[in-house]
Structure 1
Amino acid sequence: MNIKPRYMALLLALAVLLGAGGSYIGIEYFANATGNSNTDQLATANPDGENFGSLTEEEQKQFIQDMTGDADLKKVEQAYSLIKDNYVQKVEKNQLVEGAIQGMLDTLEDPYSVYMDKETMKQFNQTIESSFQGIGAEVSMVNDKVTIVAPIKGSPAEEAGLKPNDQILKVDGDSVEGLDLYEAVLKIRGEKGTEVTLQVSRPGVSEPLSIDIVRDDIPLETVYTDTKEVNGKTAGVIEITSFSEKTADEFKEALSKLENDGMDGLIIDVRGNPGGLFTDVQEILKEFIPDDKPIVQVEDRNGEKSRYFSSIKEKKDYPITVLMDEGSASASEILAATMNEAGGYDLVGTKSFGKGTVQQAMPMGDGSTIKLTLYKWLTPDGNWIHEKGIEPTVEVKQPEYFYTNPVDIEESLQFNDNGDKVKNVQKMLDGLGYDPGRTDGFYSEETVSAVEAFQKEAGLDVTGEVDEKTGGKLEELIIEEVRSEENDKQMEKAVEVLFQ
């Protein structure tokens, strides 16, 4: 698989991926207590691999000592003894301990602070050791819902067209309500060639969508290069799909080649990029941001801030713009915010996801791990974008048909029908050049005529109704339109802004 347009995530199709700052179902970057990182195809930690501000071994020991020495924990011990010795049914000690840890984390109401017990970590490590297979998604818990952040480029998730902020309701017919993030992830991940069916709730769509996904190998390449020729000028394009251990090196190599080839300006595309390692985004930013402003700031619980700088003295001698969207999260947001605030470069696209916290994974000594939020990251100007996102300086949305949904046909759609499914079909018809007369969800006579015209040209039975075959053909042609670079209005605008 090598599906070029990463923004396919904003369409429809047949695969899956999961969310921001939470867990990958396909691949993920997980930082341990010493700041090292592993690559996981499953999805169960934090996409930032936050390895700055890591606790040393001595600091961890002191942390645990301080915690266990707290007099208030006697109350916890008392509750433990009461339940263990007196509850009407026998309770396993481990069950109480695990429940107490999970309960403490639950009180934080922080979707990024999570506990992985020994068994979960065992499965996590098994996934790391196996080949990279899955659905290729990254997820997080948002308001107690397993929520999609952005699909990985070239993954089944991207092909399926799962979108940022989609909420997973069921996996193979089983509800995920009440499960923690990692329990849900374990249900979704799987081996190449196996199929999983997700029921998804999508903002703006009244009925849940059912999406079948065939798991596959997940692509590891994170940097793609292209050029755009406009009025005699060459725009170099570097797309970053995530920030992994080799991303900075790959980016520098791509940048050097574009510069040597004589590009006149640069576009950095982080649309649909769910984040990754802080070290790599930092190294990339050091190529562009002079040392008079910080690349990023990190704030601890006491309000004390650490600032990170580059060592260069001057900006590049060519213009730069950054492309972003609602699937740009975490490390992608660091890049976008810094390029704008410290570099003065334009941000083109739509508002980003909004994750501004930093987690550290801390092993508990028995095979289990707590991933705890320890810091906030702030923009060069000291802004915290958490749950707010970053606004583009030049807002541009893709054409309406980019945001259409899979055509889920149980009964054929026909004249006088009304609802979201009809509205979705009308937007598809309009995007393909068949005027449905309206796009408000009412199946009018004009919509019947548009469907008939479409069916005739597509070699289908001309009925004026949208059955499974007609819906499938609409999806197929819409996917082709989305994949076509000439329809990428955000990229078109980015080039225009670059050379204005």
Structure 2
Amino acid sequence: MNRYGEKAMRQRRITVVVVMVLLLAAGFAGGRFSVWLQYPIVKDKAFGNLSYAYNEIRANYLNGADSKALVDGAAEGMVGSLQDPYSVYLPEDKGEAYVQSYQDHFVGIGVEIRQEDGAFIVDSVIKGAPAEKAKVRKEDELTAIDGKSVKGLSFDELKAKLQGETGSTVMLDVSRSGKPLTVKVVRGDVPVLTVASEMKPGGIGVITISRFAEKTAKEFDAAIQSLQKQGMKALLLDLRGNPGGLLNPTIEIANRFVPKGKTIVQVVYKDEKRVLTHKSSQKTPWKLPIAILVDAHTASSAEVLTAALKDTAGAQVVGEKTFGKGIVQNFNQLKDGSVLKLTEAQWRTPNGQWIHKKGIDPNVVVAAPDYALLPRLDAGLKLAVGDYGDRVVTVQKMLQTIGYDTGKGTGIYDEATAAAVRTFQQQESLPVTGDMNDKTAYRILTKLMAKYQAEDPQRNKAMELLNAAVTSAPPAQ
């Protein structure tokens, strides 16, 4: 080969090398661009600080650190920096529990437990749950699970021992009226019900919705059908204490009352780039009078339903101004079960009103009695002569409300208070000590609840309005 041929071959080799270098460079640039597209956080200058902190902790932290925990902590901190109480990152188990809270069932045995002077007492047995089938009863004292004493366990530890896989067995040792028993319970689906109903005199149907979950609309439809079969003439919808929940079942329920084509709610996203107007798809016009009970704890989706029925369906809203949560959170569950819940929109009533931090005013204002607003007494309560403080004030007000004289009630647990407690304990067949404990507090709360159920001024006013509406309504043709 001559020198010109050798020169040409060298040039080709150089060209090939240059092309390979260019291809490698292009591949590197393309890969980096792809990373930027998938993970825009890497372009942020502050990402270097996050990466540095992660690497330093992993390499040098004295006690070692789990990488997953570090990333979860960073995500929680990032969402926390928004200073929005409704936006939250929930890692794994917490995320799973959050999603499960909206489902229509969970796996367990189906009991509600209260703690009473160190003992775990069955407060109620859920209808249709495995515990009911196994004949566990209200007021059974749970003493052991699978042969191991429950003494000293926390509520979370107790819950973990009662839960398990569908079909698995748990052995419960209980004390029933002082007699020891062992009950075998096969874990299974426990229904989560969010709707309760009853028929009141005069044909007033009452439906209470505790929150809005996956099957709330179906439960509501079943309740309506049951009340209609009983001859319902008017509907009282109790949303007091309802914190909200999922929007879809709320809209499904509103469809029954809001005239077809009328707006139920308008959801407005960031910078009004997207506005969703939910209109009623009502099939059969609703003709019966409606009243809605609300209070300061009626929030979110419960306010959506309240506003829709007040603005478009002629519902009378009775009670107190609602909470005022006029924003919408969307949540997504990630592959590991974690959940990101983020405020992404706000909503307007059918009349075009923003209610966030304002609430909804009732048509008829009726305050709850003062005793209904008293704080609950926490488990582990122990009060005796000489004690003082807010808990003593609460006990004194509770006793006074149910007819026991505690003297001046100044917040000091004095002899007059102890005497009132002794009288109450004696009448309730409790150990007479004059001291406050969980068992005594529970009985006092039971009496208070019974008094409220009998008096309930908000419910009574709503019933009065509905009875008047039924009486004045023209006869059916």
**Given the two structures, how large is their TM-score scaled by the length of structure 1?**
0.60
Residue among 459, 463, 470 paired with 1:491? 459
Structure number with higher helix proportion = 2
Equivalent of 1:106, from 34, 56, 80? 80
| Partner Cα distance (1:420, 1:364) in 2 | 44
1:234 maps to amino acid: G
Change (3 A) 1:262 1:444: same
Q: Helix, strand or coil: the match of 1:75?
A: coil
Q: Does 1:131 align with 2:107?
A: yes
Q: In structure 2, give the amino acid aligned to 1:222.
A: T
Q: Deviations over 1:334-371 (max 9, x none)?
A: 11222223333222233434433322233556665433
For 2:463 and 2:159, locate their aligned partners in 1 and report how far apart those are by CA, in whole Å.
38
Partner of 1:243: 212
**Residue equivalent to 2:445:** 478
Tell whether the 8 Å contact from 2:326 to 2:354 is kept in structure 1 after alignment: yes
Distance 1:269 1:243 in 2: 13
Match of 2:362 in 1: 392
Q: Which amino acid aligns with 2:442?
A: E
- The offset of 1:391, in angstroms, is 3.8
CA apart distance, 1:453 = 4.2
Q: How far did residue 389 of structure 1 move? A: 3.7
RMSD, matched Cα: 4.5
- Distance in 2 separating the partners of 1:420 and 1:287: 46
Change (3 A) 1:269 1:74: closer
**For the residues of structure 1 that align with 2:157 and 2:352, how far apart are their CA atoms?**
39
Give distance in 2, aligned partners of 1:436 and 1:86.
Answer: 62
Q: What letter matches 2:376 in structure 1?
A: N
Q: Letter of the aligned partner of 1:395 in structure 2?
A: V
1:271: Cα distance to partner? Answer: 2.4
Residue 192 of structure 2 is matched in structure 1 by 220
The match for 2:404 among 434, 444, 447 is 434
Distance 1:101 1:360, change over 3 A: same
Cα shift readout 1:120-159 (whole Å, capped 9, x = no counterpart): 657878998960468989xxxxxxxxxxxxxx9979xxx9
Any gaps of 5 or more consecutive residues in structure 1?
1-63, 138-151, 160-171, 175-184, 195-215
What's the CA shift for 1:281?
Answer: 1.2
Counterpart mapping for 1:28-107 below 5 A: 68=38, 70=40, 73-80=43-50, 82-83=52-53, 89=60, 97-107=71-81
Deviation at 1:497, TM superposition (A): 2.7
State whether structure 2 residue 259 is matched by structure 1 residue 285.
Answer: no
Question: 2:277 maps to which residue?
Answer: 307
Q: How many residues align?
A: 370
2:384 corresponds in structure 1 to: 412
In the superposition, relative to structure 1, how do residues 352 and 78 fare at CA in structure 2: closer, same or farther (>3 Å)?
same
Contact (CA 8 Å) 1:323, 1:348: kept in 2 or not? Answer: yes
Instruction: Please report how far the alpha carbon of residue 255 of structure 1 lies from its aligned counterpart in structure 2 after TM superposition.
Output: 1.6
Match of 2:352 among 355, 378, 382: 382
What's the counterpart of residue 134 of structure 2?
Answer: none
Q: What secondary structure sits across from 1:78 in the alignment? A: helix
The 10-residue stretch of structure 1 (240-249 or 381-390) with the greater mean CA deviation from structure 2: 381-390
| Residue 399 (structure 1) shift | 5.6
Residue matched to 1:294: 263
What SS does the corresponding residue of 1:239 show, helix, strand or coil? strand
8 Å CA contact 1:404, 1:428 repeated in 2: no
Secondary structure of the equivalent of 1:482? helix
Write the deviation string for residues 41-94 of structure 1: whole angstroms up to 9, x where unpaired: xxxxxxxxxxxxxxxxxxxxxxx9986465872424433554466677167765
Query: Displacement, 1:315?
Result: 5.8
Please tell me whether the aligned partners of residues 228 and 235 of structure 1 are also in contact (alpha carbons under 8 angstroms).
yes
Give the whole-Å Cα distance in 2 for the aligned partners of 1:460 and 1:99. 49
1:237 to partner: Cα distance: 0.8
Distance of 1:93 and 1:419 partners within structure 2: 46
DSSP-derived class of the 1:109 partner: coil
Following superposition, the deviation at residue 267 of structure 1 comes to: 0.3
Distance 1:82 1:343, change over 3 A: same
- Does the CA-based 8 Å contact 1:435-1:447 persist in structure 2? yes
Contact kept in structure 1, 2:298 and 2:322, CA below 8 Å: yes
- Distance change >3 Å, CA 411–CA 382, structure 1 → 2: same
Q: CA deviation at 1:258?
A: 2.3
Cα distance in 2 for partners of 1:402, 1:252 equals 32
Distance 1:100 1:420 in 2: 39
Letter in 2 for 1:498: L
- 2:300 matches 1:333: no
TM-score under structure 2 length normalisation = 0.63
Q: Are the aligned partners of 1:325 and 1:352 in contact in 2 as well (CA < 8 Å)?
A: yes
Give the equivalent residue in structure 2 for 1:265. 234
For 2:302, what is the secondary structure of its paired residue?
A: helix
- Distance in 1, matches of 2:97 and 2:425, equals 49
Query: What CA distance in whole angstroms lies between the structure 2 residues aligned with 1:371 and 1:436?
Result: 48
Post-superposition Cα deviations, 1:425-472, rounded to whole Å, max 9, x if no partner, equal: 222222222233444435567656644543554456777x4343xx73
Aligned amino acid, residue 396 of structure 2: Q
> Aligned partners of 2:400 and 2:351: how far apart in 1?
43
**1-structure distance, mates of 2:56, 2:376:** 54
Residues 267, 154 of structure 1: CA spacing in aligned structure 2 closer, same or farther, 3 A cutoff?
A: farther
Are 1:337 and 1:379, in contact at CA under 8 Å, matched by a contact in 2?
A: yes
**Match status 1:252 vs 2:217:** no
Judged with a 3 Å threshold, the aligned counterparts in structure 2 of structure 1 residues 318 and 467 are, in CA distance, closer, same or farther, namely closer
Alpha-carbon separation, structure 2, partners of 1:460 and 1:135: 25
Equivalent of 2:315, from 321, 331, 345?
345
Give, in whole Å, the separation in 2 of the partners of 1:266 and 1:481: 27
Contact 1:289–1:314 (Cα < 8 Å) also in 2: no
1:370 aligns with 2:340: yes
- Which shows bigger deviation, 347-356 or 275-284? 347-356
Structure 2: gaps (5+ residues): 1-33, 114-123, 128-137, 139-151, 165-187, 469-477
Q: Percent identity?
A: 34
| One-letter amino acid of the counterpart of residue 227, structure 1 | M
Distance 1:286 1:106 in 2: 36
Alignment-mate amino acid for residue 394 of structure 2: N
The whole-number CA distance in structure 2 between the counterparts of 1:86 and 1:453 is: 65
Q: Contact conserved, 2:385 with 2:414, CA < 8 A, in 1?
A: no
**CA–CA distance in structure 2, aligned partners of residues 120 and 404 of structure 1:** 27
How many angstroms apart in 1 are the aligned matches of 2:393 and 2:191? 34
